[in-house]
Structure 1
Amino acid sequence: MTDKQARRIAEFIAPLRVEPGSKVDLARDFDPRYRARLRKRDSTELLRTGVSLLAEYQSRLAAQDTYGVLLCLQALDAGGKDGTIRHVMSGVNPQGVRVSSFKVPSAEELDHDYLWRYARQLPARGEIGIFNRSHYEEVLVVRVHPENLDRQRLPEDARGRGVWKRRYREINDWERHLCDNGFPVVKIFLNLSKEEQRTRFLKRIDLPEKNWKFSAADIRERAHWDEYQRAFSEMLSATSTSWAPWYVVPADRKWFARICAAAVLAHTLIELDPRYPEVGKAARKELLAAKRQLEGEAPEGAERDPYAAEHGD
C-alpha cells in the first residue's frame, strides 16, 4: 500500500463521513443514489481490489494480535447489510471474522443493561467483528417503538425525555473506551431511498426464492419511515465522533455500496497499519537450523528448497 493509494481511499470516503458535531438531515445531506462518477462496469474490478486489500490487512491484524476491529452496519429493511457482508468479506479468512446479528432481546438479555448483549459479542484482538444491526438499535427501533423501552424495565428515574440523550452519551463513552483499548469502531449506515426499498420488497415477493426474506412486519415498519428518518438523523448527529465517526453509504446501487463499505473498512486498517511480527535473533537462528535440516531431507533430484528456487531466493 503506497501513500498515494491510501490518500485516494481517504479522499473517496471523505464525502460519506459525518463530521463530528454537525447536525444531520438525511434527506438534505446525503443522496442514496450518489456514485462518485464511478461506472457499474468498473465495479467488479474495484471491489476485487478492495477485497484483496482487506484480506492482506486482516492477515496482518491477526498476526500482530494487538488490535481488534468492530464494524457496525445499520440500515432499514432491504438496505443490503447481508449482501455487503457477503461480498466485502469474501476474501478474508473466516477464522478472523465473526458476524453477530441482534434480534428481539431474550429474557436473559432484558435482565441486564442494554449494552450487555453487544459487549458479549465484541471481537478479540486480531479479529474483525461485524455487528449486523448493533447497539444503535437501542436508539432507533426502541425509540420508534417506545413499548420496547418499557420491556427493558428501567428504574423510574432512568426513563423520561432525557433517555435518548443519555444513551447517546453512554454509547459515545463506550465506543471511546473500546478505541482507547485497541478496538477501533467502524460505523456504516446504508442509506436507502423509500422508492428503492419499495422496489426491493416487490422483488422479494415476485421471486419465489426470495419470499423467505420478506415479512409482513417489513410493511409495518415501512409505515414508520419518517420516524426512522428523524431517528437516524439525530443518531448520526449525536454519535459521529472523532474517535468513531459515522459513514453514510449510498445504498440504492448495491455495487457502489459494497465498494464504499470495503473502502471505509480498508481505510481503518490502513490507519492501524498492523505488521507481521519480526522474530528475534534466537528464533531466527532456530529457523535457519530447521531450514538446513529440511533441505538435507530433499529426495534425490528434488530442489533443496522448492519455494526459494521458484522465487529466486
Structure 2
Amino acid sequence: MSKTTTPSLDRFISPFRVDGAERFHLKSHKTSAKGGIDKEEGEAIIEQNRKRLSDFQDKLYAQDRWSLLLIFQGMDASGKDSAIKSIFEGVNPQGCEVTSFKQPTSKELDHDFMWRSFLALPERGRIGIFNRSYYEECLVTRVHPELLKAEKLPPRLVTKNIWRERFEDISAFERYLTRNGTVVLKFFLNVSKEEQRQRFLDRLDQPAKNWKFSMNDISERTRWQRYQAVYQEIVRHTSTSFAPWYVVPADHKWFARVVIGSAIMAALESLDLRYPRADPASLKEFKAVRKALEAEAKGRKKA
C-alpha cells in the first residue's frame, strides 16, 4: 500500500464532519457505513495511521507548542474504549493521557460543571483524550433531571434556557482552547440500537467480558430515543469550524477506527509539526562534545 496522504483520507473524514455550516439531522447519518472499503483495506489504513500518529506525537512533544484534545462520546457499547486502545496502540504514553469521566464526586459537584475538565486538559506537546466529557452535563442531566438538582445550582439559574446556555458556554470554552493552541476534535460514535443489543449479548456470553455489563446499561437502553434526540441537539448546537464534531458510523468497529484515526491524522498534519532546530551556539557546542567523545574512544583503543 502506498503512502497515505490527507487527500486520500478525506473520503473517510469529510462525510462525517459536522461544523455547523448546515443543519444537522442525526437520522441522516448511517450507523453501518463502511466508506466503500472492506475490513482488510480498513485494517491496512488503521495500521498506517498508527505509524504516522506515533511520528506526529513525537514531533508534537518535541516542538512543545500545540496540544490536542480528543473527546469521545457515545451510547454504552458504542466502542469508545476499544477505539482509543486500538488507535493509540504503540504511541508513547509519556505524551498521551486518557481521562474517563465517571459520576461526579461530592467535591466536583461543589464546582461548576466544567471544573473537573479544566484540571484534565492536556499540556502543550501532549494529547489528551476524554472518554466522555463535559458534554455529559448536557446529556445525562437532561435525560435524568434529578442529576441536575444534585449540582446545587441556585434555583433561579435553572431555567428553560439552561441547556442553550451550557451549549454557549461550551462553545466559548472550546474557542478559548483553540485560541491558545489546543486543537479540539470531538467524536460521536453513532451505533444502532440493534448493534448495541448484539454487543450486550456478547458481553453476557463471554465470561471475560461479563465485567463490562451493568444492569444500568439496560435501564438506559429503554431511553434510547431520548438520548438520540439529546445527542442531536448537542451536535447541532456545539458544532463549529474550530471544534467540529465527527459523527462516526460505529456499527463496524474497524471502520469507526478508520474515520477517527484519519481525522486525527489530518488535524496533526495541518499543524506542520517539526523537530526544533538547534541554535548556532548549541551546534558549536555539539561539535566540541562530539570531538571529545571521539577522542575518548581513540584513547581507549590505544590503551
8 Å contact kept, 1:73–1:188: yes
1:76 CA drift (Å)? 0.5
Counterpart Cα distance in 1 of 2:39 and 2:182: 34
Kept in 1, the 8 Å contact 2:32–2:249? The answer is yes
Write the distance in 2 (CA, Å) between the matches of 1:40 and 1:89. 19
Hey, what does 1:308 align to over in structure 2? none
Q: 1:32 to 1:299 in 2, by over 3 A?
A: farther
Q: Give, in angstroms, the shift of residue 26 of structure 1.
A: 1.3
The secondary structure found in structure 2 opposite 1:297 is helix
8 Å contact from structure 1 (residues 176, 244) kept in 2: yes
Corresponding residue for residue 276 of structure 2: 277
Cα distance between partner residues in 1 of 2:9 and 2:156: 46
Deviation at residue 20 of structure 1 after TM alignment: 1.1
TM-score normalized with structure 1 length = 0.92
Q: What is the distance in 2 between the residues matched to 1:99 and 1:53? A: 20
- For 2:170 and 2:178, how far apart are their aligned partners in 1? 12
Residue 12 of structure 1: aligned partner: 12
Find the aligned partners of 2:140 and 2:153 in 1 and give their Cα distance.
17
User: Per the alignment, in what secondary structure is the counterpart of residue 297 of structure 2?
Assistant: coil
Aligned to 1:85: 84
2:285 corresponds to which residue? 286
- Matched to 1:278, the amino acid is R
Question: Partners in 1 of 2:22 and 2:63 — Cα distance?
Answer: 36
Deviation, 1:19, is 3.4
**Is the contact between residue 21 and residue 238 of structure 1 (CA under 8 Å) also seen in structure 2?**
no
Rounded Cα–Cα distance in structure 2 between residues aligned with 1:83 and 1:124: 24
CA distance in 1, matches of 2:298, 2:10: 51
Q: Which residue of 2 aligns with 1:71?
A: 70
- The separation in 1 between residues aligned to 2:81 and 2:138, in whole angstroms, is 21
Change (3 A) 1:205 1:3: closer
Which aligned pairs between 1:159-178 and structure 2 lie closer than 5 A?
159-178=158-177
In the TM superposition, what is the alpha-carbon distance from 1:157 to its structure 2 partner? 2.2
Tell me which moved more, 291-300 or 14-23: 291-300
**Change in CA separation of 1:299 and 1:217 when aligned onto 2, cut-off 3 Å:** farther
Q: Distance in 2 between matches of 1:73 and 1:4?
A: 25
Query: TM-score by structure 2 length?
Result: 0.95
Q: How many Å separate the matches in 1 of 2:133 and 2:200?
A: 23
Q: Is the counterpart of residue 22 in structure 1 residue 17 in structure 2? A: no
Q: Taking every aligned residue pair, what percent have the same amino acid on both sides?
A: 45
Match of 1:136 in 2: 135
- Alignment match, 1:119: 118
Partners of 1:112 and 1:301 in 2: how far apart? 64
1:158 positional shift? 1.4
- CA distance in structure 1 between the partners assigned to 2:128 and 2:208 by the alignment: 29
**Counterpart code for 1:267:** A
The one-character-per-residue Cα deviations of 1:236-280 (angstroms, maximum 9, x if unpaired) are: 110000110100111000111111111111111111122110001
Contact 1:57 1:269 in 2 (8 A): yes
How far is the alpha carbon of 1:294 from its aligned partner?
2.0
Tell me, in whole angstroms, the C-alpha distance in 2 between the residues paired with 1:253 and 1:301.
61
Following the alignment from structure 2 to structure 1, what is the Cα–Cα distance between the partners of residues 7 and 42? 20
Which consecutive aligned stretches of 4+ in structure 1 deviate over 4 angstroms post-superposition? 299-302
Deviation readout 1:204-258 (Å, 9 max, x if unpaired): 0011111000000000000000000000111111000011010011100011111
Amino acid at match of 1:42: E
- Residue 293 of structure 1 deviates from its aligned partner by 2.0
Runs of 5+ in structure 2 lacking a partner? none
How far, CA to CA, are the matches of 1:87 and 1:58 in structure 2?
A: 16
* Structure 1 position 111, deviation (Å): 0.3
In 1, Cα distance between the equivalents of 2:261 and 2:101? Answer: 22
Ranges in structure 1 where 5+ consecutive residues have no aligned partner: 303-313
Q: CA RMSD in A?
A: 1.7
User: 1-side partners of 2:243 and 2:49: how far apart?
Assistant: 22
What number of residue pairs does the alignment pair up? 300
